[in-house]
């Protein structure tokens, strides 16, 4: 049974019993509707809706979007309409999370009680859609237009205290002992019983209420301003602006029913557009990354104590992640001065968050209390650590020296992790007598902010070491993807042909700004040249030298000549106020004639006649080179699945969620799909025979249905 029904006196109790999240699939909707039928037949004075197990319904059943059952009757909008029209008191008793459709059910009730530890929200915007069961019409009638727009366009959740302050709930149910679901349902019953046999308070029936606007507000001006503000923050996503339009309809449409019609039309338009399936792919992909076939049934080792080697920007950020994850951490560096500086930066970061209201001073003190420092590998904080993450300079000799010391001093069973972004995990592991304990844990900078963690399996990494690294990523609240060892792993390996192609386009006739602009228009946070300036142009320069990539090593053509010249001119990026762009006036990139002259001279030296490259060609070449490399990564087993590649790029490199990730985009977002991709790769390969990244992946050829596809290396 998806629901249970009981009658206590004249109070009807409907309890949703579809664990683990009580999602509002067809069976649950039918169960609620049947319960309402029974309540009406029994002439109940009130109905209380609650959830069993750990939560109130946490939302719609996402799987029904594809199956078509989302619209099967009773649909969620039909259920919400019915609840708003009942001639009896309706009470929602909330615990756990009431999200999306679950929250819309609560909004349709006249009274809402919320457990002290519960959270509510309408996060549909993250799926490329809007609340489609009346949420855009009901919520503004409770909290007003301004707060409703804020909650729905950001998709953020709020806790019980904030919900009570906003008059979104009528009562907070205090924490107690025993079954939380039972306690909440019991309080819902008592509340409904206290309402008695009096008629329904029509002021509680939301369709009868008007939307509250800020005092003295001109409605047209308010919504024009809301659209402008939302457009700036939505990064090309269409759902947030559609939500603003629905709230405006709640104010101006003339009736609740007309507002509901507007919402339904907007919902269908979004659901049938390209962004919703792309963003729902990302939602599903996030839930797949932890499902690793080779690690099924492997128990991770517990992690209670950690150590981080290096007190610099990356090491300090990683230490912050551990402290925020409830793990005591020791930072080790060569000098007390380096440790003091690193600790001061960590404290300053947390205190800045406290000033912004994101952390309490008590929490800052708690986090700082989990940190300690040392200059000695013999310190107990290192020798007794369950995991040690090396975050030293990106040079193989340095890392091997550190791992030799860790091998000597760390306890048996400790996980030894390197934060390298490109270097060979197996070579690092060779400096120890326990390569099975060595893994890559590639945090992205700043580590305490960026949500991605790219774990890397070496050839000898044990299943338990990998399971521990994956579980640790979850404990640190990271989107954690597992990759196999190769140069650059998933993210930076794909970045290399993308950057290479960008440099080739400079040689052909483009400027840095002309390359970056169409990629920002596509939705990337920044183009390759802005990104390089931000990270530091010397990083790639040093990697090329460390690997001996300083000559015509790619089919007789050296691709990084321009990038090398830039560094040798001292233009390292934002940190020197000069890179591909000029930053003398601040962080905004400004075109620099010196760089453009260097590029033109370089083209002349190569004997290349410069031409105009259209923005569409620039974006296509950059994105295709990246996507093709992604298919090669899956083909070689570096990534377990295509969606893992998409997650790496969305959460590590600023790829737009609305595009679904580079491989989703190649399959579904780009006109013509994979067959057109192969056709265009071959076109570019014919035009640029000395560029190897245009050779289509064998997996891509097979997936696109080409008969000449070689066997993939899966």
Query: Which residues form the catalytic set?
Result: 104, 124
Q: What is the CA radius of gyration of the chain?
A: 28
What is the spatial order of strands in the sheet that 97-99 belongs to? 97-99, 119-121, 158-159
Supply 185's token pair.
């349902």
Between CA 231 and CA 237 the distance in angstroms is 8
Q: CA–CA separation, 44 vs 363, rounded Å?
A: 48
Alpha helices of 159-288 — where are they, by DSSP H? 160-165, 180-195, 219-233, 239-252, 256-271, 275-288
Q: How far apart are CA 157 and CA 151, in angstroms?
A: 8
Write out the DSSP string of 88-157: SEEEEEE-SEEETHHHHHHHHSSEEEEETT-EEE--GGGGT---TTTHHHHHHHHH-HHHHHHHHHH---
3-state secondary structure 357-417: CCCCHHHHHHHHHCEEEECCCCCHHHHCCCEEEECCCCCHHHHHHHHHHHHHHCCCCCEEE
Cis peptide leading into residue 20 (ω within 30°): yes
578 forms beta bridges with: 573, 582
Angstrom distance (rounded) from CA 546 to CA 404: 21
Distance, in Å, from the CA atom of 593 to the CA atom of 572, rounded to the nearest integer, reads 17
Q: What token pair was written down for 466?
A: 């990998």
317 is written with which tokens? Answer: 């950020």
Q: Read out DSSP for 295-328?
A: GTTPPPPP--EEEEE--SHHHHHHHHHHHHTT-E
Helical (H) or strand (E) element with 700: helix 698-703
Cβ count within 10 A of residue 428: 25
CA distance 419 to 306: 14
């Amino acid at each position: 049974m998806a629901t249970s029904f009981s009658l206590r006196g004249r109070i009807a109790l409907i309890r949703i019993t579809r664990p683990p999240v009580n999602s509002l699939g067809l069976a649950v909707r039918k169960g609620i509707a049947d319960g309402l039928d029974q309540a009406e037949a029994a002439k109940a004075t009130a109905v209380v809706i609650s959830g069993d197990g750990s939560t109130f319904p946490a939302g719609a059943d996402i799987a029904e979007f594809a199956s078509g059952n989302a619209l099967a009757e009773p649909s969620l909008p039909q259920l919400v309409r019915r609840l708003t029209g009942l001639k009896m008191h309706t009470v929602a008793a909330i615990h756990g999370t009431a999200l999306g459709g679950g929250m819309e059910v609560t909004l349709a009730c006249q009274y809402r009680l919320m457990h002290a530890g519960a959270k509510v929200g309408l996060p549909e915007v993250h799926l490329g859609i809007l609340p489609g069961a009346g949420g855009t019409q009901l919520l503004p009638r409770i909290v007003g237009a301004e707060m409703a727009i804020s909650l729905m366009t950001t998709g953020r959740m709020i806790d019980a205290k904030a919900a009570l302050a906003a008059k979104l709930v009528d009562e907070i149910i205090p924490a107690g002992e025993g079954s939380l679901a039972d306690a909440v349902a019991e309080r819902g019953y008592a509340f409904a019983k206290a309402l008695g046999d009096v008629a329904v308070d029509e002021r509680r029936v939301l369709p009868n209420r008007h939307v509250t606007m800020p005092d003295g507000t001109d409605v047209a001006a308010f919504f024009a301003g809301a659209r402008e503000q939302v457009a700036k923050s939505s990064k090309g996503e269409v759902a947030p602006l559609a939500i603003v339009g629905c709230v405006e309809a709640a104010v101006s449409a003339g009736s609740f029913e007309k507002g509901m019609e507007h919402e339904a039309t907007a919902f269908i338009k979004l659901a049938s557009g390209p962004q919703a399936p792309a963003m729902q792919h990302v939602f599903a992909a996030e839930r797949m990354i932890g499902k690793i076939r080779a690690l099924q049934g492997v128990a991770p080792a517990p992690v209670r104590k950690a150590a981080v080697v290096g007190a610099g920007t990356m090491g300090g950020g990683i230490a912050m992640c551990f402290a925020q994850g409830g793990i005591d951490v020791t930072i080790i560096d060569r000098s007390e001065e380096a440790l003091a500086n690193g600790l001061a930066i960590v404290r300053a970061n947390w205190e800045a968050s406290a000033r912004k209201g994101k952390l309490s001073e008590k929490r800052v003190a708690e986090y700082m209390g989990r940190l300690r420092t040392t200059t000695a590998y013999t310190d107990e904080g290192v020798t007794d650590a369950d995991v040690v993450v090396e975050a030293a300079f990106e040079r193989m000799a340095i890392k091997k020296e550190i791992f030799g010391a860790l091998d000597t001093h760390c306890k048996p069973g400790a996980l030894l992790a390197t934060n390298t972004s490109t270097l060979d995990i197996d070579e690092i592991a060779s400096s120890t007598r326990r390569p099975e304990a060595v893994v890559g844990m590639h945090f992205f900078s700043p580590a305490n902010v960026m949500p991605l963690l790219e774990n890397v399996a070496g050839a000898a990494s044990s299943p338990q070491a990998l399971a521990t690294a994956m579980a640790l990523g979850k404990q640190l609240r990271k989107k954690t993807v597992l990759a196999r060892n190769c140069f650059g792993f998933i993210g930076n390996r794909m970045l290399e042909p993308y950057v290479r192609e960008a440099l080739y386009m400079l040689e052909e006739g483009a400027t840095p700004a002309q390359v970056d602009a169409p990629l920002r228009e596509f939705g990337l946070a920044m183009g390759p040249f802005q990104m390089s300036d931000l990270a530091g142009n010397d990083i790639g320069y040093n990697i090329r030298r460390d690997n001996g990539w300083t000559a015509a090593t790619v089919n007789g053509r050296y691709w990084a000549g321009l990038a090398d010249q830039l560094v040798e001119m001292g233009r390292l990026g934002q940190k020197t106020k000069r890179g591909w762009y000029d930053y003398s006036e601040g962080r905004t990139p400004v075109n620099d004639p010196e760089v453009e002259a260097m590029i033109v001279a370089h083209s002349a030296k190569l004997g290349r006649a410069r031409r105009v490259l259209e923005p569409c060609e620039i974006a296509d070449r950059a994105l295709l080179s990246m996507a093709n490399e992604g298919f090669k990564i899956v083909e070689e087993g570096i990534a377990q699945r295509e969606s893992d590649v998409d997650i790496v790029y969305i959460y590590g490199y600023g790829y737009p969620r609305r595009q679904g990730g580079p491989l989703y985009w190649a399959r579904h977002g780009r006109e013509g799909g994979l067959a057109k991709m192969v056709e265009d790769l071959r076109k570019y390969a014919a035009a640029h025979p000395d560029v190897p990244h245009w050779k289509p992946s064998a997996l891509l050829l097979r997936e696109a249905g080409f008969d000449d596809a070689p066997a993939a290396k899966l």
